[in-house]
Structure 1
Amino acid sequence: MASSALTPYLTFALGNDSYATALLRIKEIAAHTPISRVPETPAWLLGVTNLRGTVVPVISLARRLGLPSAPVTKKTCILVLDIERHGEPSPVALEVDSVSELLELGPDSLEPCPAFGTPIESQYILGIAHTGERLVYLLDLDRVLNVSSMASAAQGEPRAT
């Protein structure tokens, strides 16, 4: 019997739902820091922040996924990761309501995403894991943070002033 390799995932909350991404994607988990708003940007682009001398854009992951955003609390944090922009890695910060736990999941512990009935568009979900009585949606961050799809999504959205 072949054992399936386990992959570590970081789980986090957006509203009342649990989401996860591969731990290897995350460069850093940071406390919520002051964000400087940038005028004329989509509502999901909260602005920029200074992380150890580097200016990094901060995206509300909830808003990017079409979910309502929660007020900032002591548990609110940002996940720092790189996205590919013009063929180069570029840091971006994702605001999440809270970080929950580390899960190790194998391919056999994931279920495919149903065509409907999920809190976000199914194209952004790689699979669903059951952890006890709760469901965890595994995000496809490459799709969620695809630069061209974010630019398309920004068309016609309300702008910050």
Structure 2
Amino acid sequence: MSEMMQVIESQEVDPANAEVLEHETGSQYLSFIVGDEVFAVDILSVQEIRAWEHPTYLPNSPRYVKGVLNLRGTIVPVIDLRVRFDFKRHEYSETTVIIILKNSAGGRDRLMGCVVDGVSDVFNIDEEKIRELPGNTSNIDNYFTEGVATVNDVAVTLLNLRNLLSLDLIEHPFTGRG
């Protein structure tokens, strides 16, 4: 078994903890690392987690679009969240993965891959514990976030997938072009 698969398998929820998750309230989120920051998405939007592989390049696409993958016959665009959020560049490592996310738009489900530095954890957050991000606190546009929550004394930014995964935002100032 490759080191990458071992890393991914080590991130799965322990069956002993699954019972605890069932009794907690709120929504479940998958957290992951981008740069030195922790982000999370609703676990129901996660289709799968794949080991890093180079997508097929698309000419004239925004800098943050790394290309496309063929996922069992479905062409899936892949974006690099480090570039999308204008983080300093990191090398791809054995913990780099592509999270395949499902986003409902226009009455149909669309898949999008997001390159992240590593998967972190699955946890529950009660809606009343989610706070708005203060304006002008980071280089991540609030348009891409739903808020922030504290989990185990760590601030976790919750992402708004409808806005983040929209390919209609090519002219948006946070496209990572340049």
TM-score, scaled to structure 1? 0.84
Number of paired residues? 154
CA contact under 8 A between 1:60 and 1:69: conserved in structure 2? no
* Structure that is richer in strand per residue: 1
State how far apart, in whole Å, the 2-side matches of 1:71 and 1:44 are: 15
Question: Quick one: structure 1 residues 36 and 115, their matched pair in 2 at CA, closer, same or farther if it must change by over 3 Å?
Answer: same
Matched letter for residue 70 of structure 1: H
The corresponding residue for 1:89 is: 109
Corresponding residue for 1:16? 36
Task: Spell out the pairing of 1:56-135 with structure 2 (5 A cutoff).
Answer: 56-84=76-104, 87-135=107-155
1:146 maps to amino acid: S
Give the stretch that moved more between structures: 60-69 or 41-50: 60-69
CA distance in 1, matches of 2:92, 2:45: 24
Where 2:150 maps in the other structure, the secondary structure is strand
Kept after mapping to 1: 8 A contact 2:64/2:176: no
Kept in 2, the 8 Å contact 1:65–1:144? The answer is: no
Do the aligned partners of 1:36 and 1:48 also contact (CA within 8 Å) in 2?
yes
Match of 2:12 in 1: none
2:64 matched to 1:40?
no
Give secondary structure in 1 for the equivalent of 2:172: helix
Give how far 1:88 is off: 3.3
Question: Post-superposition shift, 1:99?
Answer: 0.5
Q: For residue 70 of structure 2, give the secondary structure of its aligned residue in structure 1.
A: strand
Superposition RMSD in Å:
2.3
Aligned-pair CA distance for 1:68 = 2.8
Alpha-carbon spacing, 1:108–1:76, altered in 2? closer, same or farther (3 Å): same
Q: Which amino acid aligns with 1:115?
A: G
2:171 is paired with a residue whose SS is helix
Q: Identify unmatched segments of 5+ residues in structure 1.
A: none
Structure 2, unmatched stretches of 5+, are 1-23
Stretch moving more, 134-143 or 35-44: 35-44
More helix by share: 2
- TM normalised by structure 2 equals 0.76
What percentage of aligned pairs have identical amino acids?
27
Which residue in the other structure is 1:147 paired with? 167
